[in-house]
């Protein structure tokens, strides 16, 4: 699949089943995604791969974080089983570095976007899920985050349950978001 087709046909996939990329294939795709723009090649991120029983433990952690009736807690717990692989994105900025934190966050987002395109090109589906659990102190403890790290969410990864044709999106006219800077001529 060429890059333009991947960009125009990728969609967030909500229903994901096995197979998902194994650890070796995930690492292979990540090596390519890590070539995304990253000033200073800091790589201010890390991934925690959650599969199998790890998903159940993460789901219980989500459910324990909400004061709600059991039925709602059960639905919350089940969220961690929506895909065979939950790739946890951890932002680990280099502190006191010449590259500002906002730029490190931009590099992390660029890498993640590239990874999602690479997954799509290999036939996998993904969706980047965020929400209140990214702020959960219980989830931070369970996943072993350091004090300067932040959860940016989870890439739910697997094979789309319903094979969807690679319908290309029609690019929108965004010329209204482009301007050309033309300085005033210098006075002589």
185: in domain: no
SS3 state at 179: coil
Residue 21, domain member (yes or no): yes
- Average pLDDT on 43-47 reads 98
pLDDT band at 66 (very low <50, low <70, confident <90, very high): confident
> What is the domain extent for residue 39?
13-177
pLDDT at 57: 97
Cis peptide before 169 (omega within 30 of 0): no
pLDDT at 55: 97
Q: How far apart are CA 111 and CA 105, in angstroms?
A: 10
101/3 Cα distance (integer angstroms): 29
Domain tally, the chain = 1
Structure tokens belonging to residue 122: 């290999």
183 falls within a domain: no
> Is residue 187 over pLDDT 90?
no
Mean pLDDT within 100-127: 97
Which tokens belong to 33? 């995604």
pLDDT at 145 over 80: yes
For the segment 110-120, the average pLDDT, to the nearest whole number, is: 98
Q: pTM for the complete prediction?
A: 0.91
- The per-residue pLDDT of the chain, averaged, comes to 94
> What is the per-residue DSSP string for 77-88?
HHGGGSSSEEEE
Please report the pLDDT score of residue 168 as a whole number: 81
41: left (phi over 0), alpha (psi -120 to 50) or beta: left
Q: How far is residue 184's CA from residue 74's CA, in Å, rounded to a whole number?
A: 64
The answer to whether residue 78 is domain-embedded is yes
34 within some domain: yes
Looking at residue 111, which CATH number applies to its domain? 3.40.109.10
Query: Average of pLDDT values for 150-167?
Result: 89
Mean pLDDT value of segment 45-58: 97
d(Cα 105, Cα 42) in Å, to the nearest integer?
11
Is residue 188 included in any domain, yes or no? no
Taking the C-alpha atoms of 108, 24, 144 and 56 in order, what is their torsion angle to the nearest 10 degrees?
110
Residue 112 in any domain: the answer is: yes
Weakest-pLDDT range from 44-58, 60-74, 111-125: 60-74
Is-contact 91 44, C-beta < 8 A?
yes
Assess if residue 101 is contained within a domain: yes
Residue with tokens 């993640």: 112
pLDDT at 163 over 80: no
Region 161-169 average pLDDT: 76
Least Cα distance to 54 among 144, 161, 126, 152 occurs for 144
Angle between helices 101-121 and 23-33 (to 10 degrees): 130
Q: What is the pLDDT of residue 20?
A: 98
Distance between CA atoms of residues 104 and 46, nearest Å = 12
Is pLDDT at 165 greater than 70 in this prediction?
no
The residues that bridge with 48 in the sheet, in sequence order, are: 88
């Amino acid at each position: 699949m060429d890059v333009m087709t991947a960009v125009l046909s990728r969609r967030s996939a909500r229903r994901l089943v096995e197979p998902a990329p194994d650890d070796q294939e995930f690492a292979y795709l990540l090596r390519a995604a890590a070539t995304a723009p990253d000033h200073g090649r800091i790589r201010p991120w890390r991934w925690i791969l959650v599969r199998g029983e790890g998903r159940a433990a993460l789901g219980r952690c989500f459910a324990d974080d909400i004061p709600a009736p059991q039925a709602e807690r059960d639905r919350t717990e089940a969220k961690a089983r929506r895909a065979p692989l939950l790739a946890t994105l951890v932002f680990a900025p280099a502190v006191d570095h010449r590259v500002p934190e906002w730029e490190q966050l931009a590099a992390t987002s660029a890498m993640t976007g590239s990874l999602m395109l690479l997954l799509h090109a290999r036939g996998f589906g993904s969706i980047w899920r965020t929400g209140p659990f990214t702020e959960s102190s219980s989830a931070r403890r369970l996943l072993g985050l350091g004090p300067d790290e932040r959860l940016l969410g989870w890439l739910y990864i697997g094979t789309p349950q319903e094979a969807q044709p690679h319908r290309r999106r029609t690019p929108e006219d965004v010329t209204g978001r482009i301007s050309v800077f033309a300085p005033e001529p210098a006075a002589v």
